[in-house]
A and B are shown apart, each in its own frame.
Chain A
Amino acid sequence: MQGYIYPNEFELQWSLLIVLYPYITGLVAGAFILASLERVFNVKEVQPTYRLALLTALAFLLVAPLPLQAHLGHPERSYEIFLTPNRKSAMAMFGFVYAWYLTVVLLLEIWFEYRKDMVLWAREAVGWRRWLYYGLTLGATDLSDPSLKFDDAAGRWITVIGIPSAFLLHGYVGFIFGSVKANPWWSSVLMPVVFLFSAIVSGIALVLILYVVISLFRSRPVDMRCLDKLASFLFYAMIVDVSLEMLDFVHRLYESEESIDILSQMIESRLFISLIVLQLVLGTLIPLGFLGVFSPALHRGLARGSDELRRLIYLMSAVLVEIGIFSIRWNVVIGGQLFSKSLRGLTVYKVELLGLEGLATTLVLLALPFVILWVLVKVLPPWEEPAGLRRLDGV
């Protein structure tokens, strides 16, 4: 603690789990928007990651509410937000934003995308797998041409609806922070937009990492055209994201409201590592530099390394980006609670290790989507294999 703070500001109410929540929803929205690139905007190069991106979005979306549940004092009452919707509370509308995104967007799109395969798998498989796939098709086993065309059209329309929905899902999280008018670190109309673009950045980086790592484990070659395209989009998204954040930053400096002194103090002391070192240097400048030089984003690549080198650089950049985006979430959520509303002092936040809102829970919740993704990939293999090679057991 330093300077003067009010007694109720000593302890932070929104802990590490609330850092995790926007991080995870960001990954969901980002992965989905990447998937929409192929579906709506016809970017054929990223097609190998289309299904993987959808499954990734689903795996992370299933985990997204868990940090909130673990943070609640009475998680067993949380279903009540569905029963008695409060339209005047942005937080209380979360359930509906989430349910809309989960059921109407993600599950439906995945269902239409996989329906043909699921019908074929149900015909080929035996035992409980047969019933599993049959159940997943909901009995819609018609594989006639008009029917398959309908699947495709429906998938496309759902993606079209899905893009604004993904914006809504993550923009909503930024909206929650941006509308806290008493907090000068949060209260900014740019917050939802900044959240959104950082979400796209983190989603693309995540799918890139997963694609490279999974290909490695499956001993399959990585499609370098796809990876180059992913790296280029990651670069473009980062440019927009950084520009928006700089706009926010410059705007704050130019406005120079009364809070500027304490916020500068906070950046120089409490947030130095997480904002300057992790977010700005490691999470933004270094990956931007590497991607700018090696990806074909600028003038077909300023330097063309070998495929192997580019793979490594993309992977390293994507990992750094993920660390940087997590730092952004940390800086927003924790930073907003470190300075006193008296604008005269700073408090400290120490992460607990084993508590319900501690580091251990966070790591478990962060690992859980990968376990779910593993199961999803087993049940719904996202790879397009030559007919003879396809194995029903997925990986």
Chain B
Amino acid sequence: MKVPQQVARLGVVFAAAIAALLVARSFLVPETFGELGHYRAAAIDSIAAHPKKYAGHQECAACHDDLAAKRAAGNHRGVACEVCHGPQQAHVDAPLDVKPPAPRDRGFCPLCHAYNPSRPTGFPQIDPVAHNPLRPCITCHDPHAPVPPAVPEECSACHGQIARQKALSHHANLPCVTCHQVPQQHKVTPRVIRPTKPAERAFCGRCHAEGASGPAEAPRIDLAAHHPRYLCWQCHYPHYPETQ
């Protein structure tokens, strides 16, 4: 049977295209492609040949065995040295010339420890704005052996903003517990168990009512006549320096 002219011509074109693809393949597909999987096997060697930047924590332990032992026993045992100190192969090669940095500013630790709802429950998290403002983390926490979140000694550990405001207010000398009753459990589950606020006008009246026994400079008002339907702190925020 005679092959139609069209088929012959198209056959040539398709054959040429397929041949071109096969020729291109033979030139362009790397030799070791497919040996180990759908990739160039030699890529492993070429990646391995890159200059090393990270030394690995075993290298650090060779000299800093005290710190390594301390870290291995602490809560940061899963955090390798170079996570905080950066890639240190250069330091291993020339220990005296290249010194590893140690992050001391407050911006670093919150990368892991700032409050974020997607972090696992129980993971130590703080609000960097409110938590002991301005103090570097390492003043209280040893990064090589951090202890679990201790019960805060002072209210200012978490309520730093309020503490700073109050320090400039007329109430600077009053301890927080003068006005707030703080259950012990508040320090463990702060969002569940909350401290109290003064619930009666008479509470403020202990210093501010006419004839009260408080300091002479504290302003006095007639409790019965002065906006009797409101609690005092609904108008006078007690932590503000400008509170009248």
User: Which residues of A are at the interface with B, using a C-beta cutoff of 8 A?
Assistant: 4, 6-7, 80, 82-84, 86, 88, 103, 108, 111-112, 115, 138-142, 146-147, 150-151, 154
Cβ contacts under 8 Å, B9 to chain A: 138-140
Identify which of residues 1-30 in chain B touch chain A, using a CB-to-CB cut-off of 8 Å: 4-6, 8-10, 12-14, 17, 21, 24-25, 28-29
B5 contacts A147, CB within 8 Å?
yes
CA distance A140 to B13 in the complex (A): 12
Partner of B10, one of A86, A108, A142: A108
CA distance A112 to B9 in the complex (A): 12
Interface residue B178 (Cβ < 8 Å from any Cβ of A): no
B118 contacts A6, CB within 8 Å?
yes
Assuming A140-B5, A151-B6, is B118 touching A83 (CB within 8 A)? no
Interface residue B38 (Cβ < 8 Å from any Cβ of A): yes
Name the residue on B nearest A88 (C-beta): B38
B28 contacts A83, CB within 8 Å?
yes
| Closest-CB distance, B54 to chain A (whole angstroms) | 24
Name the residue on A nearest B8 (C-beta): A140
User: Could you list 15 A-B pairs, sorted by A, with CB under 8 Å?
Assistant: A6-B118, A82-B21, A83-B28, A84-B33, A84-B34, A88-B38, A108-B10, A138-B9, A138-B10, A138-B13, A142-B5, A146-B4, A147-B5, A151-B6, A154-B6
Q: Report the number of A-B residue pairs with Cβ-Cβ less than 8 Å.
A: 44
| Closest-CB distance, B112 to chain A (whole angstroms) | 13
A83 contacts B25, CB within 8 Å?
yes
A112 contacts B118, CB within 8 Å?
no
Q: How many residues of B contact A (CB 8 A)?
A: 20
CA distance A115 to B9 in the complex (A): 12
| Closest-CB distance, A339 to chain B (whole angstroms) | 16
Most interface-central of B4, B6, B13, B24 (chain A CB within 10 A): B6
Cβ contacts under 8 Å, A154 to chain B: 6
A150 contacts B6, CB within 8 Å?
yes
A83 contacts B29, CB within 8 Å?
yes
Interface residue B117 (Cβ < 8 Å from any Cβ of A): yes
Cβ contacts under 8 Å, B28 to chain A: 80, 83
Name the residue on A nearest B13 (C-beta): A138
CA distance A305 to B21 in the complex (A): 56
| Closest-CB distance, A291 to chain B (whole angstroms) | 40
A150 contacts B4, CB within 8 Å?
yes
CA distance A82 to B24 in the complex (A): 10
CA distance A80 to B5 in the complex (A): 34
Flag B36-76 by CB within 8 Å of A: 1 or 0 each: 00100000000000000000000000000000000000000
Flag B193-205 by CB within 8 Å of A: 1 or 0 each: 0000000000000
CA distance A108 to B5 in the complex (A): 14
Assuming A108-B10, A112-B6, A147-B5, is B38 touching A86 (CB within 8 A)? yes
| Closest-CB distance, B123 to chain A (whole angstroms) | 15
| Closest-CB distance, A153 to chain B (whole angstroms) | 10
CA distance A6 to B24 in the complex (A): 44
